[in-house]
Structure 1
Amino acid sequence: MTAIHDDLPPQTSTVERAVTVLLMIGLAVLVPLASFFGLFFGMASDGCIGNARCSSEQITVGIAVSAASPWIVYLVALGFVIVQWVRRRRTWWVPVAALVLGAALWALGGFIAVSGVG
């Protein structure tokens, strides 16, 4: 006779889950800071004086990407962690990947905003 849960992978360790929670808390602290500092890319428009050709739409898109991407990446990572816990899989790497992806998107938003200045 087999048990009901024989087909599930083994439970992840308590230490692994604690590490995931601590990393997600660390991300929760960084997300509002990154979003706030993403708004500072609006200062790129300070170079739009005189005859400089600037794209205000491009600067706006860059600001939006830099300000919104940390929140979006965090919420997706949080959802993914929950799904992986239900499936009894390792999750420590999810906040690390979210940090790398969030930083890359934040920098991409900054690049978009700055490249809008002629």
Structure 2
Amino acid sequence: MAEPATYAVAPQETRATDRVVTVILLIGLAVLAPVAGFMGLLTAMASDSCGSGTECNDGLVATGVFTSATSPIIVALAALVWVVVRWRRGRATWWVPLVAVVVAAGTWWIGALITFGAVGS
């Protein structure tokens, strides 16, 4: 019986433009993530109307604010790690920061919706 063929996976050569675009997008992500985190903290102002006769779920408000404030930064750090891994393997990395922006915006909105849903519930 013949032995199965094995193939050595050599790192692929990436283009310089891929690396330049990735670094520029990561810089943009590094600027946007803390700004989005700060904006997530501002979603706590949705609970300003909680004292005037409306029922609010304080735990859910805190969960939503925490999600909105931390998720962009966590997603940005995960994207940085994933870029480094793909870069070391010689893979294309330009798309990772773009996906991270979309995921960070989505998780930010989920946290904001949790916060706004907890007010008046």
Task: Please indicate, yes or no, whether the TM-score normalized by the shorter chain is above 0.5.
Answer: yes
Q: 2:45 aligns with which of 43, 46, 55?
A: 43
| Deviation of the 1:47 alpha carbon | 1.8
Matched with 2:36 is 34
Matched with 2:85 is 83
Matched with 2:58 is 56
Aligned letter for 1:109?
A: G
Matched with 2:98 is 96
CA distance in 1, matches of 2:72, 2:24: 17
For normalisation by structure 1, the TM-score amounts to 0.92
Q: Give the 4+ runs in structure 1 shifted more than 2 A.
A: none
Aligned letter for 1:87?
A: R
CA distance in 1, matches of 2:85, 2:40: 29
CA distance in 2, matches of 1:21, 1:116: 39
Q: How many residues matched?
A: 113
Cα-to-partner distance string for 1:56-107 (whole Å, 9 max, x where unaligned): 1100000000000011001100000000011110010000000000000001
Which structure 1 segments of 5+ residues have no match? 1-5
CA distance in 2, matches of 1:7, 1:27: 31
Q: 2:26 aligns with which of 24, 27, 49?
A: 24
CA RMSD of aligned residues (A): 1.1
Which structure 2 segments of 5+ residues have no match? 1-7
Aligned letter for 2:51?
A: I
